[in-house]
Structure 1
Amino acid sequence: MPIRLPALPADSRAPFPDPRTALREPDGLLAMGGDLSPTRLLNAYASGVFPWYSEGQPLLWWSPDPRTVFRIDAVRLSSRFRRTLRRSDWVVTADTAFAQVIDACARQPRPGQPGTWITADMQAAYGELHRLGHAHSIEVRNGTELVGGLYGVAIGRMFFGESMVSLASGGSKVALAALARRLHEWGWPLLDAQVANPHLLTLGASLWPRERFLDEVRELTGKPTSPGLWSSRFGELPACELTRQTSLPD
C-alpha cells in the first residue's frame, strides 16, 4: 500500500502536523513538500521536526520516536582517548568555517549510504541560516588544517545537531565534547542528535520518548536568546583541556 503523507502548504509559516501522527514505519516520517526557507526550518526545529531526504526524493520531514538526545553533562570521551588528547595541539573554534564543515560532512562516506542527504540545496539553506545567526559550526584544527567538526541549529537554549565529521581520527569526538563544554558553561542542557547509531551511544547519547523530547523542546526553544555568530563567544578551546572530564564514569 502506498504511503500517504500530509503535504505542507506553500506558506512557510504554516504549522507542521502533530509529530505524534508520524508513521511508525519508516519511523518518524511526518510530512512532505514545502521548502527549506529559514522560516520553515526554524519552525520545524522548534516543533521537534527536521528535514531528511536524498537527491531525487521529495522534501521529507521527520520526528522519530524514540529521539536520540545528549544531556550536555553526559557527553563522554573514553579514558584512552582523553589520554591521547593530553598531547594534542588541536584547537576548537566556532563559526569560522561553516561552509567548509558542512561540505566535509556532505563528502564523508557513511556505511550503508551510497550518497548524502546534505545536498546542494541543503547546504545553501543551512548556509543562509548560518548567515542569519541560527546555524553554527564547530571546527577542530591542527594548525590551519581542519581535522573535524560538526554543525547544527540553535534556537533558544536548545542545540539541534545535524551532522559531524572526522577528517583525522577522533576529530568529531573532540568537536562534540568541546561543544558540550561550552553549552554546559552557557546553561544549555540538551543537544538533539536525531537518530541513534552505535557511535553516538558510546559517546553518551540516550533514547528519549518523543513526547518527553517535545516537552523539553517547547520549553528550551522558548528561552530568550539572540541569534548571531558564536566566534567570539565560543573562543578558542584547546583540545587538551577536554581531558578534564568529570561528568560520567567510563
Structure 2
Amino acid sequence: MVRLDENEISFPDPETYDGQDGLIAFGGDLSVERIWFAYQLGIFPWYNPGEEILWWSPDPRFVLFPDEIKVSKSMQKILNRNVFTFSENRDFRGVIKNCQQTSRKGQDGTWLSNELMESFIKLHEYGLAKSIEVWQDGELVGGFYGLQIGNLFCGESMFAKVSNASKAGFIHFAQSNKNTIELIDCQTHTYHLESLGARMISKKEFLKILHENNERR
C-alpha cells in the first residue's frame, strides 16, 4: 500500500497495483482536483472520519448496466401509482446531508466526513457531481449522488426516509438514462442494489470500460 504525498496529485496505477483487498493507497488530501483525478482512474476514497484517508480500487467491482435493471412487480405497482416524483440537481446539499445523517442498519456513525461532503459539494458546483432527488408530497424523502464521468456514473451514497424511496429513485435514474449512461459504478456489494440488478465484474473489465469512456470524452 502506497502513502500519498499531499503536495503531489498521483496514485498507483490500479491496472498494475492491486494492494490489499482493493486498498491501494492512503493519505493525501480531499481536494477537488485529487478526487476528480482518482475517479478517472477508477479509485475512490472510503474511510472512517478521524482516520487517515483510504483509497480503493476493488477487484471485483460492483456495477449495474442500466439495461439490466430489475423491477419487481411490487415496485412496478408503486412506480405506476406515481407515489414519488423525481428531480435532478434540485437539492444536492439536501441529498448529501441526508446521506451523511441517515442511520443504517449495522453501521455506527457515518463514513461521510464533513470534509469529504464539502469536496463533493464543490464538485457539484463545478458541474462534475450530480444528485437525484425523490419527493413525496413536496418533501425530500430519498435520493443519491455521485460523479458523472462521460457516460459512466459513479454512485456514492443513497438515503431513504420512507420505504422504497431510494429504490424508486435508482430505478427511475437507470431507466431514464439507459441510452446515455453505459455503466453505474456501485463500488462495493450491497444486497439492496443486487436486488435491482447490480453484479460483480472484474476490475480489468471495469477499467477497460472506464478508459474507453475517458477516451471518448
TM-score, structure 1 length as denominator? 0.83
Equivalent residue number for residue 214 of structure 1:
207
Q: Is there any run of 5+ residues in structure 1 with no aligned partner, and where? A: 225-250
Equivalent residue number for residue 129 of structure 2:
135
Question: CA–CA distance in 2 between the matches of 1:190 and 1:170?
Answer: 22
Q: 2:115 aligns with which of 118, 121, 143?
A: 121
Equivalent runs, 1:45-64 vs 2, <5 Å: 45-64=39-58
Q: Is the 8 A contact 1:158 1:220 kept in 2?
A: yes
Deviation digits for residues 194-226 of structure 1, max 9, x if unmatched? Answer: 0001111111001011111011111113332xx
Q: Is the 8 A contact 1:12 1:39 kept in 2?
A: no
Equivalent residue number for residue 63 of structure 2:
69
Q: Is the 8 A contact 1:158 1:221 kept in 2?
A: no
Question: CA–CA distance in 2 between the matches of 1:103 and 1:206?
Answer: 28
Secondary structure (helix, strand or coil) at the match of 1:162 reads strand
The answer to which of 157-166 and 215-224 deviates more is 215-224
Q: Is there any run of 5+ residues in structure 2 with no aligned partner, and where? A: none
Secondary structure (helix, strand or coil) at the match of 1:140 reads strand
RMSD: 1.3
Equivalent residue number for residue 17 of structure 2:
21
Deviation digits for residues 118-142 of structure 1, max 9, x if unmatched? Answer: 1111110100000000010000101
Kindly provide the amino acid, as one letter, of the partner of residue 168 in structure 1: V
Secondary structure (helix, strand or coil) at the match of 1:31 reads strand
Q: Is the 8 A contact 1:101 1:149 kept in 2?
A: yes
TM-score, structure 2 length as denominator? 0.95
* 1:182 correspondence with 2:176: yes
Secondary structure (helix, strand or coil) at the match of 1:100 reads helix
Secondary structure (helix, strand or coil) at the match of 1:203 reads coil
- Displacement of 1:12: 4.8
- Displacement of 1:13: 3.5
* 1:8 correspondence with 2:1: no
Kindly provide the amino acid, as one letter, of the partner of residue 205 in structure 1: A
Q: 2:191 aligns with which of 195, 198, 201?
A: 198
Equivalent runs, 1:87-126 vs 2, <5 Å: 87-126=81-120
Question: CA–CA distance in 2 between the matches of 1:94 and 1:51?
Answer: 24
Q: State the aligned residue count.
A: 216
Question: CA–CA distance in 2 between the matches of 1:13 and 1:21?
Answer: 17
Kindly provide the amino acid, as one letter, of the partner of residue 185 in structure 2: D
Question: CA–CA distance in 2 between the matches of 1:143 and 1:223?
Answer: 41
Which portions of structure 1, spanning 4 or more consecutive aligned residues, are displaced by more than 3 angstroms? none
Q: Is the 8 A contact 1:150 1:162 kept in 2?
A: yes
Q: Is the 8 A contact 2:75 2:168 kept in 1?
A: no
Q: 1:162 aligns with which of 143, 151, 156?
A: 156
